[in-house]
Amino acid sequence: MMIDLTGRTALVTGSTQGIGYAIAAGLARTGAAVIVNGRSTSSVDAAVERLRGDVPDGTFRAAVGDLATDEGAHSVIDAHPDVDILVNNLGIFGAQSPLDIEDDEWRRYFEVNVLAAVRLIRAYLPGMTERGWGRVLSIASDSAVVIPAEMIHYGMSKTALLAVSRGFAKEAAGTGVTVNSVIAGPTHTGGVEDFVYSLVEKSLPWDEAQREFMRTHRPQSLLQRLIEPEEIANMVLYLSSPLASATTGGAVRVDGGYVDSILP
């Protein structure tokens, strides 16, 4: 199955590392010009340099801006006004006792994980619909469906992202633009390694720590291991392509069977 996105421009938010980086690399390999986003010039420049090493034939552009703020979002949108594929990957997570989460932290999770995506969809969807083609994808989480007791604020934000995607899919009905969310399961990234070690014994070697984390905190996973970022990226590439033209308004799972349901 060949995916060719030559001539398309993709913006991947939060793409200097982890899942976002894997998505950026994957889209570049399909021929798309990829806009790499992060909050600092140094992080974006480093990611672009690394991406050019990983995908020598790829086309990459820098987009520095904190998308959780109006100013940062407008700076990215003004610099890159036309996007064919929008991947809302930006997100924060962390474990915290539910009764200790203050109002400001609830607001921060909503601003970063939900409102940043809304801003960009609102900006880019009209151009996509006018051109009669576009893809909007938001990276959600199994935590949207199976709310984790140790990070309710994160789960709340990802549940909201599912609603946002479904609603904007209705706005784009009949235009040739598809809007979907991707429910990612527990994924192996640098940030997740830190998260795992916050919940298991820090002296354990990584392989043992990973198994202990899955056994103790994610026992319902059918995969019984952390997902690699490239496995999430593979689904994003498909949903970004013309092959997925009949898939819209969906919450598509790449969760390793974590969510114990036939449907999300």
Residue numbers annotated as active site: 154
On whether the CB atoms of residues 185 and 201 are closer than 8 A, the answer is: no
Nearest Cα neighbor of 122 from 176, 159, 67, 174 is 67
SS3 241: coil
Helix axes 70-79, 116-131, angle to 10 degrees: 30
The residue type of 21 is Y
**All residues at 6 or more sequence positions from 12 whose CB lies less than 8 Å from its CB, including other chains:** 20, 23, 24, 27, 34, 35, 36, 37, 87, 89
**All residues at 6 or more sequence positions from 17 whose CB lies less than 8 Å from its CB, including other chains:** 47, 189, 190, 191
**All residues at 6 or more sequence positions from 218 whose CB lies less than 8 Å from its CB, including other chains:** 186, 258
On whether the CB atoms of residues 148 and 103 are closer than 8 A, the answer is: no
On whether the CB atoms of residues 243 and 3 are closer than 8 A, the answer is: yes
